[in-house]
Each structure stands twice: as C-alpha cells, then as structure tokens.
Structure 1
C-alpha cells in the first residue's frame, strides 16, 4: 500500500479560503499526488495550484514575479517540494520540448503543413510600390502570417509586414497590382 502524507497546521490565511487539508499519496517514483482535492488542468487544485502552493509552503516564501514552478519529475500532479524548482516560462517550455510533450516545430515544419500546402493558393509578394519580390507556390511564407497574407490578397488589409500580396491568378505582369 502506498504511503499517505497529510499536511497539517497550514497557515490560517490559507485555510480561510479552503478548509480542506491536503492529503497526498506517494507514488513509487516519490511523487506526492493529491487525493484530497480535485484536479484542474492536470494540477492539484489546492489554493489555486498544488505544486505552486507546496513550493511556497516548503520554501517559506512567495514565488518570485515572472517565475513559474517547474516539475523536475515531469508529473503535473506531483506536489513533492523536492521535485519542484523555480524557473522562467521559457525554461518550462524547453523542459516540455526536451521531454517530447511539445512540438518545437513552427510554420512549414509543422506536420499539418502538407495539408495546408495542398489546399493553399499561390501568392505573389510585392513591394509597396508593386514591384515583384517573389512567388510562393503554396501560399505560405516562413516568418509571415498566412491568414494576414490571404487577408491582404482578398483586399481586407492593404499590406502585411511592409509587403503587398496578391494571388497568382490576380497578378498582372508589369501592370497595376494594387489590392482589390
């Protein structure tokens, strides 16, 4: 049978918002998973965030502004203070990428890009003066918003990131390529 940990004598201001004292079961990996409070977004729902609460309680200080509490064990249910550390949101995202829980790919590297490319219309990138810059056969350009490019092609906006954009079928070589 797994061990159970009860947290007693919580600070009175904490108990004022939630009278239920946290109870944890200790897993074989040493994680403390809360069984007394429900989960919210995969985290123990103790005073707004079990892992954040336990880090603050254990370290006797508030989480510094701009910092997050990260799980060294990669178990979002874990509230064991020895499995928690402070870091930036960037650090937290990098942890997720390294552990295979987040796809670092962007733009044309995304798995769904092939589907987008098959359904996209070719676009022409122009300077603000209407001079040809380049053609993009799949309607997608790294570093540019595909939806804004297509909004420009449809005449909903005049430019995107300093360029005019037109659908290939609307492009007139040497002609007036102003937005519709």
Structure 2
C-alpha cells in the first residue's frame, strides 16, 4: 500500500525539483477569499500557521525568507500560480502599482466610487455651466454640492479623468460669496 502524499509534500517536491515549466503551476489546495493559494502547517502541537503558497515558493527558490515589508508578486497575474519563474519580490507599493498598471483592480474613479454624489454627465454639465458664466454656488445648488466642490471640479483638482480641455478657471470677475 502506498503512502498518501499531502498537498504540501507535493508542493515541496515540485519546488525542490527546480525544473519549472514555462506555464503556471497552479495550487490545488486551499485558497483564501481573494483566490490566493494558502498552505497550512503545524508550528507545534495545537498551533498552526498559514502562508501564501506563492510567497513560500519564492522564498524556497531564493533560499531565503522575504523581509516582512516585501511581497511575492506575480508576473503572470494568476493568483494560484506558484511557479517561481513567474514570481518576484517587491514592495507593497510596487504590488499596488503593478495591479493598477495591469488593470487588476476595479476603477474607483468618478461615479464608480462608492461615495460619489455626481456622475460623469453631471460633471460635464457643471463644466459647461461654469464656462457659460454661471456662479459656482448656483451650480452647486443644482447638483446638491457646495461651492468649494464646484471650484475644485472647474479647476481640474477633482474628477481629473473628465476631459480637461472643457475646463476653465473661475473668472476673477465673478467673486463668490461665502
């Protein structure tokens, strides 16, 4: 009768072999709520630890632990991949930037932001109204926002993803009452 091999033992065999395919090596065990592979191991009797599989794979292939302020980043964008050739170490900021650059995080700009009171169409209309000389406080009243919000939108400090060519600075001839 052959002994049953655990997920972790199978993982270690793949990593120790060092002969990685060009394709992703996907984790077949447990995952967290974000879809990243997790390995659970006993630290001592009654105490367990958990670790991301891709982080452990990178550490084993590098022959050292990653510092606590570093992450294991995926080149392949496959959360369950633990192929060390697809992984590299980087900071949390680099991980966020990489995620943004590859459009892995949903946009929270404009009306997609959960706290947005305006839509892109509202902002475009506010810009049009401002360019026609309407007072910022009047524009704010139409859309239910204050004058400072309208001013920041018209200057291009807020809703920066809206076409900047249609913006104009508030006219000095139109002082705003506070």
Q: Which has the higher contact order (CA 8 A, sep 6+)?
A: 2
TM-score, normalized by length of structure 2?
Answer: 0.49
Q: Which has the higher strand share?
A: 1
Q: Which has the higher helix share?
A: 2
